[in-house]
Amino acid sequence: MALKRAAALALAVFLFAGVAEAKVTSIAIESVTVETPATFEGKDQDKVYSDACARQTLTDAQVLKWFRKAHEEPREGFSEKATETGCMFRGSAKAKDGKSYRWTLDVGGTGYIFRSDAQNDAILLLGPEVSSWR
């Protein structure tokens, strides 16, 4: 009986760990294009950071690398884990199945892939801070 419990616990830990670190699996991203350079979209009281934001740069290859390092997160609890600075890049992504998507990436390491024009129809992503992996 103890062996069955240990096996069940090991399986549960394995499955939970897999969910917590799951990569972007909903969409097989083939390529990305940065269409809007870093733009500060944060709160008015944080506008002092807009010049620093404008100096941030990302290439298409760097954004693709970020998407490959990021992992999907469920909607529940996402806002508590997300780091949003207000410094955003925007662009488009092409999936291996030929579909096109819009994306946003905050330099704090929070990203979104929009499956439609509806804001609530997004894949929520967490990854490394942009400045820490370039």
- Per-residue pLDDT band for 45 (boundaries 50, 70, 90) equals low
In whole angstroms, give the CA distance from residue 91 to residue 94.
10
- Per-residue pLDDT band for 30 (boundaries 50, 70, 90) equals very high
What pLDDT was estimated at residue 83?
84
Convert the pLDDT of each residue in 60-93 to its tens digit: 999 999 999 999 888 888 878 888 888 999 999 9
Percent of the chain with pLDDT over 70: 78
Note whether 124 and 78 are within 8 A (CB): yes
What pLDDT was estimated at residue 80?
83
Note whether 125 and 71 are within 8 A (CB): yes
Global pTM value: 0.74
**50-58 contacts, C-beta under 8 A, 24 or more apart:** 52/87, 53/85, 53/86, 53/87, 53/107, 56/87, 56/89, 56/107, 56/130, 56/131, 58/34, 58/89, 58/105, 58/130, 58/134
Domain boundaries, the chain: 24-133
In whole angstroms, give the CA distance from residue 91 to residue 68.
16
Convert the pLDDT of each residue in 11-21 to its tens digit: 333 333 333 34
Asked if the model's pLDDT at residue 23 lies above 60, the reply is yes
The residue ranking higher by pLDDT, 57 or 6, is 57
Return the exposure string of 76-100: e unless at least 16 CB atoms fall within 10 Å of the residue's CB, then b.
eeeeeebeebbbbbbbebeeeeeee
